[in-house]
Amino acid sequence: MVTLKLLAAGALLSGIISCVHVPKEAPELSGELAGRMQTVKAAHLQAVRLYMAGKRADVDRFIEQEWLPVFAKNALESQGIQRAVQQMCKGDNAAERVELLVGLGTRLQAQLNRKRTELMRPLDEFERGLVQELEVTYNEMTAMNATLTGLLQAHADTTKTQTEILQKLHVTDHIASTLDDADKIVGLLTSGRDAFERNRDKIDEILKSVTPK
């Protein structure tokens, strides 16, 4: 599909360039643009990673401030834990008390780790899809620019100015607006203790929208 796009773009550009006069500076300008695109790509990817790190911090705050207190309260109030605590209080074996507390803490931590992994998985998938889309977009732009540079070098006697060439380079990029979907995912994940289960279908739909076709 990308190859067909490049062939079509090349044929179109070749037809256009053959009818105009390109100054010798134009190929140099096009080559410089390729280097600039790589710099912008690196900055774009870094911005996405930093943004997603902020979204993960939002989920961590939700777990710490909302999910964990309710979970711990329910766990500590369960009949099994209550019986174990009562037996511990009646006895005078310090080693058994330590063992009970360590075991309880280990189980609570394991549950917390599982919940965090569960809630982070949609964000991991979202970031992976977004990064893949960025890679595909910039690779296509780079290939198109290489085609353009070659055509300009082949027709370096035309009359287009550098400014006019830049004005003709339009890049359609909806990735920036796609970042709003990360906020939607976090909102669905943190709207209640059982929000992930209730909103799983909505989260999956958002993830599908950023998965490269």
Give residue-wise pLDDT tens across range 111-142: 999 999 999 999 999 999 999 988 888 888 88
Q: Is the pLDDT of residue 206 over 80?
A: yes
Does any domain span residue 44?
Answer: yes
Tell me, yes or no, whether 17 lies in a domain.
no
**Is the confidence at residue 107, as pLDDT, over 50?**
yes
pLDDT reported for residue 128: 93
Q: Which domain holds residue 86?
A: 23-209
Q: Tens digit of pLDDT for each residue in 40-97?
A: 888 888 889 999 999 999 999 999 999 999 888 888 788 777 777 777 676 677 777 7
Total count of domains within the chain: 1
pLDDT at 174 (0 to 100)? 53
- 1 in a structural domain: no
Residue 2 included in any domain: no
Residue 3 domain-assigned (yes or no): no
Give the predicted TM-score (pTM) of the model. Answer: 0.60
* Per-residue CA distances from 54 to 46, 50, 58, 66 (Å): 13, 6, 6, 18
pLDDT of amino acid 2: 44
In a domain, 6, yes or no: no
**Residue 137 DSSP SS3:** helix
Q: Which residue has the higher pLDDT, 170 or 203?
A: 203
Supply the pLDDT for residue 41: 87
**Would you call 199 exposed, middle or buried from its count of C-beta atoms within 10 A (0-12, 13-18, 19+)?**
buried
In a domain, residue 56? The reply is yes
Give CA–CA dist 212/1, Å, rounded.
Answer: 13
d(CA 117, CA 56) in angstroms, rounded, equals 11
pLDDT score at 54 = 93
Q: Is the pLDDT of residue 6 over 50?
A: no
Higher pLDDT, 42 or 209: 42
pLDDT at 59 (0 to 100):
94
